[in-house]
Amino acid sequence: MPEAAVGLGRMGTRAKQRSRTPRRWQVLFLFLLPLFCGALSEQIRYSIPEEMARGSVVGNLAKDLGLRVRDLLTRNLRVSAEKQYFAINTENGNLLASDRIDRESLCAQNPVCVVPLEIVAENPLNVFHVNVMIEDINDNPPHFPQNSTVLQINEFATPRARFELESAIDADVGPHSLQSYQLSYNEHFSLMVKDKAEGKNAPELVLERPLDREQQSSHLLVLTAVDGGDPVRTGTTQIRIEVTDANDNAPVFSQDVYRVSLPENLPPGTSVLKVTATDQDEGINAEIRYSFKTPGDVGSMFTLDHQSGEIKSKNPIDFEISSSYTIIMEAKDGGGMATKCKIILEILDENDNAPEVVFTSVSSSITEDAEPGTVIALFKTHDKDSGENGEIICLIKEDVPFRIQSSANNYYKLVTDGALDRELTPEYNVTITAIDRGKPPLSSSRSVTLYIRDVNDNAPVFQQSAYLVHVPENNPPGASIAQVSASDPDLGPNGQVSYSIVASDLEPRALSSYVSVSAHSGVVFAQRAFDHEQLRAFELTLQPGYLVTKVVAVDADSGHNAWLSYHVLQASEPGLFSLGLRTGEVRTARALGDRDSARQRLLVAVRDGGQPPLSATATLHLIFADSVQEVLPDLNDHHTPSDPQAELQFYLVVALALISVLFLLAPGYLALLSA
């Protein structure tokens, strides 16, 4: 799915470019059109042969997912898998084979071999599911469990008697698997192949002519297994026929197929099954010896009493390793005649594996004004058990403003579920607990620490709304006569308080000759000696911080999509101004000093609350002066704009900046009495 550009809400009106002159200022509004990636709904599938060279290209994943190559690094596109058979080339978006891929190791004899991949992208968080089908190649020849076999046949064996041989094994599947057998020529024997219940071809040696031990006591045959590859691959075994004296009864098992159900985690040495075979012959021809005839790891898991036929567990049995075992048991009498039976052991799952919680992406911090539903972390769960033992429930036990939101394929999101207030709780330690449905249930927990970042959501508050100060006349100039104090629970610049005198019942020009206030400490100083006969009392209004102007943006959307937030991107004098996150109010963060320029520039951005968010920017040019008359030349010396709406916007910003110097908010009152 290709990425799409999304339109932005308007912020103000368009500004026309004007020629630059030394005495003219302008307001420039810039509009940004960010691009956001759409969600990919369908699955991607690739098909590759096994044993591909490392670095081979599987497919162009970025193109198939609709992602731009230049965004791959910033979105941290990666493969999330327990074993990294594949990797992503972030320079071109190709999915590459990064390790040896052996279909037989991955899928054994399954006809369809699929490797599922989870592709994780960030900014925004997303998970894509990709299936890579591994096609079989003819890289395994058929082979027999043994290079040679000794088969004892009594000389009284009748023609058309059949003797079962060991089947060949081919790890490949489909047309590349074992297809047929060939037997070297011998006038006494021929070959027949029958289908076993488990679906494998079982070769049988057929006696065509009677044997005579006195004429020939042994025969040597070569059995060849052939697969269906091109070219074909083969495997051989030698069959040595030893002709024995008459033993006309083969052992017979009590059952052709034995089925047993076993719980996993059986202690070693536990009896699993005891098979029984009988032989109607007498003496040595009736003595039976039992043995395993199943290739593989059966001998490492189970032991066999060759005399009694009892099978016991040898090592711990784990359902997660194998859910069943098929054993071929042979009973052979002393005369060399043998028969076989099948034993099917079904392993029952026990709840012996606790579920796991794996975080794939975690945010370490979030602003306290984050909207409900904001994604904090992405995690997945896994339980090696099956059935109810592998069904998982995720929950948060603490009383925190977060919740777990279920996604697909055992993926979950940790999202906000209420208002955050850094001043009340500056950080959260959220513990996610995964519990399975086993009896008794097993669980595991993972914790994530989330720090709440401060926003300027608290106005400074004076300790007193009014102060009454008595000052003796003839006081020394420069003396401290009072101190006001205000506090702000926000952090850093958001909590720094500065003081200023914003109003008085004295004439503005006379005020500065009477008192001043320290912007940092709130100490009020007398600038001159007071004369009780000339001035008995006057009032001052003080505030922390000037309201310089207010940025206003509109969004045609509604709800969360129209929830706007304001941010300072650039400032000609960093730290001089603060911007209200929700109000758009531009205030002085400290007193304007002699070294500060009277002309300041702010680049302001506004973002909405949509997913993904849209934004726009505006540039503010601010002029500070003692009176409006000082900046009138800057306002009058301009060409008539072709766009009246742009001219109105220019005047509004400058006028607001000037008028706001005179009208300030949240004041504290100080009354001075001259005694």
Residue, of 499 and 546, whose pLDDT is higher: 499
Query: Among 173-177, 438-442, 546-550, which is the least confidently predicted range?
Result: 546-550
Of 621, 625, 642, nearest to 25 by C-alpha is: 621
Cβ neighbours of residue 496 closer than 8 Å, sequence gap 6 or more: 488, 589, 590
E-strand stretches of 136-267: 148-154, 162-164, 178-183, 189-195, 201-207, 218-227, 234-244, 252-253, 257-263
Residue 623: how many CB atoms within 10 A of its CB?
A: 16
Cβ neighbours of residue 42 closer than 8 Å, sequence gap 6 or more: none
pLDDT of residue 58: 93
What percent of the chain has a predicted confidence (pLDDT) above 70? 83
pLDDT at 494 over 70: yes
pLDDT of residue 619: 92
How far is the C-alpha of 578 from the C-alpha of 448, rounded, in Å?
A: 32
615 within 8 A of 7, measured Cβ to Cβ:
no
pLDDT at 560 over 60: yes
How far is the C-alpha of 519 from the C-alpha of 419, rounded, in Å?
A: 34
Strand 466-471 to strand 668-674: parallel, antiparallel, or no bridges (unpaired)?
A: parallel
Among 82-86, 534-538, 633-637, the range with the most confident prediction by mean pLDDT is: 82-86
Query: Among 19-28, 300-309, 486-495, which is the least confidently predicted range?
Result: 19-28
Residue, of 658 and 350, whose pLDDT is higher: 350
436 within 8 A of 351, measured Cβ to Cβ:
yes
Residue, of 441 and 249, whose pLDDT is higher: 441
Residue 607: how many CB atoms within 10 A of its CB?
A: 18
Output the CA torsion sign for 315, 316, 320, 322.
Answer: positive
Query: What's the pLDDT band for 183 if we cut at 50, 70, 90?
Result: very high
Query: What's the pLDDT band for 233 if we cut at 50, 70, 90?
Result: very high
How far is the C-alpha of 617 from the C-alpha of 619, rounded, in Å?
A: 7
- In angstroms, how far is CA 353 from the centroid of its own chain? 22
pLDDT of residue 556: 87
In Å, what is the CA distance from 78 to each residue of 18, 61, 101, 119?
48, 11, 19, 6
pLDDT of residue 380: 94
Query: What's the pLDDT band for 42 if we cut at 50, 70, 90?
Result: low
pLDDT of residue 545: 64
Asked, as a colleague might, if the bond just before 426 is cis with ω within 30 of 0, I would say no
Rounded mean pLDDT, 576-599? 76
How far is the C-alpha of 117 from the C-alpha of 601, rounded, in Å?
A: 50
Query: What's the pLDDT band for 669 if we cut at 50, 70, 90?
Result: low
pLDDT of residue 550: 82
225 within 8 A of 183, measured Cβ to Cβ:
no
Rounded mean pLDDT, 47-73? 92
pLDDT of residue 270: 93
- In angstroms, how far is CA 33 from the centroid of its own chain? 28
pLDDT of residue 365: 92
Query: Among 22-31, 99-108, 435-444, which is the least confidently predicted range?
Result: 22-31
Count, residues in the chain: 675
The runs of H, that is alpha helices, within 445-507 are: none
pLDDT at 12 over 70: no
Q: Read off the tokens for 506.
A: 């004295």
pLDDT at 527 over 90: no
pLDDT at 342 over 70: yes
pLDDT at 354 over 90: yes
pLDDT at 339 over 90: yes
Residue, of 502 and 554, whose pLDDT is higher: 554
pLDDT of residue 336: 87
In Å, what is the CA distance from 344 to each residue of 86, 260, 349, 452, 518?
37, 6, 16, 59, 91
Which residues share a beta bridge with 329? 292, 341
Cβ neighbours of residue 487 closer than 8 Å, sequence gap 6 or more: 460, 461, 463, 497
pLDDT of residue 402: 94
Which residues share a beta bridge with 169? 143
Q: Read off the tokens for 78.
A: 């990666």
Q: Taking phi first (over 0 means left), then psi (-120 to 50 degrees means alpha), and beta for anything else, what does residue 622 get?
A: beta
pLDDT of residue 245: 73
Rounded mean pLDDT, 124-146? 91
Cβ neighbours of residue 430 closer than 8 Å, sequence gap 6 or more: 376, 396, 398, 400, 402, 414, 447, 448, 449, 450
Query: What's the pLDDT band for 326 if we cut at 50, 70, 90?
Result: very high
pTM of the model: 0.48
pLDDT at 655 over 50: no
pLDDT of residue 546: 61
pLDDT at 489 over 50: yes
pLDDT of residue 355: 94
Residue, of 321 and 545, whose pLDDT is higher: 321
pLDDT of residue 449: 93
3-state secondary structure (DSSP) of residue 272: strand
pLDDT of residue 299: 80
Residue, of 18 and 276, whose pLDDT is higher: 276
What are the DSSP calls for 394-456, one per residue?
EEE-S--SEEEEE-STTEEEEEE-S---TTT-SEEEEEEEEEE-SSS--EEEEEEEEEEEP-S
First to last CA, the chain: 81
Query: Among 196-200, 421-425, 446-450, 455-459, which is the least confidently predicted range?
Result: 196-200
DSSP conformational letter for 319: T
Among 427-431, 489-493, 545-549, 564-568, the range with the most confident prediction by mean pLDDT is: 427-431
How far is the C-alpha of 195 from the C-alpha of 214, rounded, in Å?
A: 36
pLDDT of residue 206: 95
Rounded mean pLDDT, 513-541? 85
pLDDT of residue 565: 85
pLDDT of residue 577: 80
Query: What's the pLDDT band for 36 if we cut at 50, 70, 90?
Result: very low
Residue, of 509 and 135, whose pLDDT is higher: 135
pLDDT of residue 496: 85
3-state secondary structure (DSSP) of residue 283: helix
- In angstroms, how far is CA 673 from the centroid of its own chain? 68
Among 247-251, 504-508, 645-649, the range with the most confident prediction by mean pLDDT is: 247-251
pLDDT at 644 over 50: no
302 within 8 A of 262, measured Cβ to Cβ:
no
